């Protein structure tokens, strides 16, 4: 048995352990266990510095989960977009391939808690229908392996799946969505890396939410992956009490760059049942993104997105940098809140007709004009 597997076995997961270790009322612990089981491996447990800290909030069950009656079991409608078991096909050229129900640590904000931890919901027995779907749908060029966490599989089982995907001619890219570099970096072994190298191009999407999660162990895991030629991207979630502070996220993103992990996405928290206490306002997210832009390298700034409820996909959100726009000029503010005017180009490009869903005349709608004129907007600020 490898070290990482032993650490999974040694994880906190029973009601008795929750009561003893975290002083949770037994009745509450039983209800939480029924709602969404816990798994906190010894490594991630060691990152907790004090009760209620950002690490604790992500992994220790909380009675607030039971008080959330407004969230959705499947906020992104993944199940409705699942043509066969284990496959979600939302975008034209890529699919989500669920390979296992198990994770190295069960995040309390998990958007897939309806399935995670339940081998009946994400079953290895149904992989053949998933492979057949991929073979038949030649428009698919990109497969994102997820779960659960694909790296919870043994090297042998993981290779069987990847090798089978690589045999499909029209599939160009394989992505592995894994939180292991963050929650159990011991899983990233030389043997695993050597196996994965045979099936390039493979991209790794990992998931750090707080700078305390970047440790010598997690840095080494990411180094092994990057040195072996795997681009590693990070997908963080904005969460109240965890990282809803520009200084915290600035530290996280800069530390990620230092270990050669690119900040890729920052998500607004999904409307998942049991996770409402993690959600922030959109204004809070926009405030943080505005505080980051210009103050740290563009390399360190992720796309800020909302994964639209109802399966609408990822929608990028930006602070309001455009204050006014008309046919002659664009009035903008920069990261210092200083105002600048950019003269609009006068050419035929502004008149190109395009098809827009819900717009019967097929023309690009004209920019909305503010009540104030550009001159009035500019006069409120000192033009640099």
Of the candidates 342, 341, 320, 344, the one whose C-alpha atom is nearest the C-alpha of residue 383 is: 341
Please say if 110 is a catalytic residue.
yes
User: Which of 121, 220, 293, 314 is an active site residue?
Assistant: 314
Please say if 90 is a catalytic residue.
yes
Of the candidates 305, 320, 312, the one whose C-alpha atom is nearest the C-alpha of residue 236 is: 305
Asked if 62 and 109 touch (Cβ cutoff 8 Å), the reply is: no
E strand spans, the chain = 87-91, 94-98, 142-146, 173-177, 202-206, 232-238, 262-268, 303-308, 313-316, 322-325, 329-333, 339-343
Please say if 62 is a catalytic residue.
no
Please say if 166 is a catalytic residue.
no
Please say if 59 is a catalytic residue.
no
Please say if 91 is a catalytic residue.
yes
**Is position 222 annotated in a ligand binding site?**
no
User: Which of 68, 90, 245, 293 is an active site residue?
Assistant: 90
Asked if 29 and 38 touch (Cβ cutoff 8 Å), the reply is: no
- Beta 94-98 vs 142-146: how paired, if at all? parallel
**Is position 59 annotated in a ligand binding site?**
no
> How far apart, in whole angstroms, are the C-alpha atoms of residue 266 and residue 293?
14
User: Which of 44, 62, 106, 107 is an active site residue?
Assistant: 107
Please say if 279 is a catalytic residue.
no
**Is position 103 annotated in a ligand binding site?**
yes
User: Which of 94, 240, 262, 293 is an active site residue?
Assistant: 94
DSSP 353: B
User: Which of 108, 112, 113, 179 is an active site residue?
Assistant: 112
User: Which of 33, 53, 72, 91 is an active site residue?
Assistant: 91
Whether omega for the bond prior to residue 201 falls within 30 degrees of 0, making it cis, is yes
Please say if 112 is a catalytic residue.
yes
Binding residues: 103, 107, 110
Q: Name the residues annotated as catalytic.
A: 90-91, 94, 103, 107, 110, 112, 270, 307, 314
Q: Which residues participate in the annotated binding site for [4Fe-4S] cluster?
A: 103, 107, 110
């Amino acid at each position: 048995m490898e070290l990482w597997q032993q650490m999974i076995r040694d994880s906190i997961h029973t009601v008795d352990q929750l009561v003893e270790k975290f002083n949770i009322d037994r009745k509450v612990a039983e209800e939480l266990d029924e709602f969404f089981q816990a798994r906190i491996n010894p490594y991630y447990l060691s990152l907790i510095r004090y009760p209620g800290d950002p690490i604790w909030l992500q992994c220790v069950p909380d009675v607030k989960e039971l008080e959330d009656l407004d969230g959705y079991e499947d906020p992104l409608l993944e199940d409705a977009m699942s043509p066969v078991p284990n496959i979600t096909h939302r975008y034209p050229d890529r699919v989500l391939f669920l390979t296992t129900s198990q994770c190295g640590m069960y995040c309390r904000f998990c958007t897939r808690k309806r399935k995670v931890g339940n081998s009946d919901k994400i079953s290895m027995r149904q992989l053949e229908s998933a492979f057949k779907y991929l073979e038949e749908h030649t428009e698919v060029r990109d497969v994102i392996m997820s779960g659960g966490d694909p790296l919870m599989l043994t090297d042998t089982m993981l290779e069987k799946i990847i090798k089978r995907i690589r045999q499909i001619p029209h599939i160009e890219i394989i992505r592995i969505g894994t939180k292991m570099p963050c929650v159990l970096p011991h899983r990233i072994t030389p043997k695993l890396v050597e196996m994965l190298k045979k099936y390039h191009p493979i991209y790794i999407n990992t998931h750090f939410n707080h700078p305390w999660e970047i440790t010598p162990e997690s840095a080494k895991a990411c180094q092994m992956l990057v040195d072996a030629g795997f681009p590693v991207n990070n997908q963080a979630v904005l969460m109240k009490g965890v990282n809803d502070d520009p200084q915290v996220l600035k530290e996280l993103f800069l530390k990620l760059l230092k270990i050669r992990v690119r900040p890729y996405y920052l998500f607004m928290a999904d409307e998942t049942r049991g996770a409402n206490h993690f959600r922030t306002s959109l204004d809070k997210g926009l405030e943080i993104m505005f505080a980051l832009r210009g103050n740290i390298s563009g390399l360190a700034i992720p796309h800020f997105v909302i994964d639209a409820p109802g399966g609408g996909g990822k929608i990028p959100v930006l602070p309001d940098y455009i204050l006014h726009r008309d046919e002659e000029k664009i009035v903008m503010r920069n990261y210092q809140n200083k105002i600048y005017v950019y003269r609009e180009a006068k050419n035929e490009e502004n008149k190109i007709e395009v098809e827009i869903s819900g717009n019967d005349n097929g023309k690009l709608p004209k920019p909305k004009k503010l009540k104030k004129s550009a001159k009035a907007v500019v006069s409120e600020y000192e033009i640099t």
